[in-house]
Amino acid sequence: MPAKSRTEELRTLIKTICDGDFEYESRESPKTNWNLYDNAQIMELADYLDNLRDLVDEADKRIKERTPPRKKGAGRPPTDPGDISKILLFQAYTESPNRIPEGFLYLFREKLGIHQHFSYKTIERGYDRKAVNEILDEIVKITNETVEGKETTYSFDGTGFSASNKENYAAKRQKQNSKKNHKKTKSECVGESHDCFPISNTASKMGFSYSVMGVGVQYKLISGMAISPDHSIGETTMFPEAFKQTLHCNPNLMNALGDGIYGCRWITDLVSTNHATPYFLPRSNVTFRSKGFVGWNDMLYSLWENPQEWLEHYHMRSISETVNSMVKCRFGAPLRKRLDSRKATETQLKNVAHNVRRIGYLEIMDGIIPHWSREGR
């Protein structure tokens, strides 16, 4: 087939997919054992506390083993970052301000394995500690090790966490896309989204914290995240960091999924050069010209030759949107922090708390046994 005809055929196919006119054979919905789900909900808090304690201890242990010992300086030693990480993750679970978690220390100190009492100001300063962020990153890796070899497909998507009850990210995003699509010509696909994040109408300190996350489509664990308070950076700029963390969690990643925002040559090539197959819906004015990015041609030909099989993989990208909703439904309180660095840590805590909570559900519903050291079990 001539190259021009092949391009026109592919463009028509993409428009049909965007308009919802493609006759796609959807997969069967997975069955849920509701008895096990009820049990997981009953045990949620107990499992969260146990897994939180053991995960932080394991993460802290791994970090100390690979970090050369530092010479102690003058003055009082800093509060153990592991203890602070535990109370911050419990604070994220209860969605409470700093003073209330200090009170929780009296009740849950032994349960969480915290070695000392500290004030709410120490909890507040924990949002600025690099050692705490390092422990949170390590927890993401440890939780994903639980499904290593079982999870091979990851979906990527961006979202925003609001610092105000008056603004909703999803509504802002929908309004942004509708304004952009209104300016498009009829020949363009209305399913395409804007790369830049929507901006808040409120004061800058009450704005959004933006995040791009990688999510395992089978077990719904977050595998990587990039966080920024700057709406102008855009999802594509933040994608490499989230993808790199996902590769670090699972070097055997086979498929990477995402919506049309990621359907550009350099992202496609980034995925393919790391021995994974990209599934990003291209724009409606697509061409087969690779411009030096070999992975681009491979993805377009797989879509053009077998759209049904290609879409079976691609449509699993909605799992990342599902996880976004899971995080916001369970940890949906507005961000309390006003400094950008603390906003980023608070956003990271919500995502990591999702993984800790999710591990408890996977153990009961899927029989997946965590392999880290577990105290008293």
How large a percentage of the chain has pLDDT more than 70? 92
Is 97 inside any structural domain?
yes
Name the pLDDT band for 229 (thresholds 50, 70, 90): confident
Provide φ and ψ at 326, rounded to 5°: -60, -45
pTM for this entry? 0.89
- The verdict on 200 and 119 lying in the same domain is no
- The verdict on 99 and 218 lying in the same domain is no
Assess contact for 328 and 168: CB atoms under 8 A: no
- The verdict on 206 and 303 lying in the same domain is yes
For 14, 176, 299, 309, 338, the CA distances from 9, given in Å and listed in that order, are 9, 30, 15, 17, 50
Residue 189 is predicted with a pLDDT of 44
Average per-residue pLDDT for the chain: 88
- The verdict on 319 and 377 lying in the same domain is no
Q: How far apart are the first and last CA of the chain?
A: 64
- The verdict on 296 and 152 lying in the same domain is yes
- The verdict on 247 and 229 lying in the same domain is yes
Is 193 inside any structural domain?
yes
Q: What is the pLDDT of residues 105-153, one digit of tens each?
A: 999 999 999 989 999 999 999 999 999 999 999 999 999 999 988 999 9
- The verdict on 162 and 253 lying in the same domain is yes
- The verdict on 242 and 111 lying in the same domain is no
- The verdict on 226 and 167 lying in the same domain is yes
**How far is residue 343's CA from residue 163's CA, in Å, rounded to a whole number?**
9
Is 150 inside any structural domain?
yes
For 50, 197, 304, the CA distances from 107, given in Å and listed in that order, are 15, 41, 60
- The verdict on 296 and 171 lying in the same domain is yes
- The verdict on 221 and 250 lying in the same domain is yes
Report the candidate in 347, 330, 331, 349 with the shortest Cα–Cα distance to residue 339: 347
Report the candidate in 177, 155, 124, 162 with the shortest Cα–Cα distance to residue 253: 155
Is 31 inside any structural domain?
no
- 105-119, 196-210, 328-342, 355-369: the lowest-pLDDT one: 196-210
Q: What is the pLDDT of residues 166-197, one digit of tens each?
A: 776 767 777 776 665 555 544 344 444 567 77
Domain count, the chain: 2
- The verdict on 18 and 98 lying in the same domain is no
Is 249 inside any structural domain?
yes
Is 247 inside any structural domain?
yes
The answer, yes or no, to whether residue 238 has pLDDT greater than 80, is yes
Domain of 372, in residue numbers: 43-66+81-140+336-377
Provide φ and ψ at 376, rounded to 5°: 75, 15
**How far is residue 366's CA from residue 360's CA, in Å, rounded to a whole number?**
10
Is 27 inside any structural domain?
no
Is 32 inside any structural domain?
no
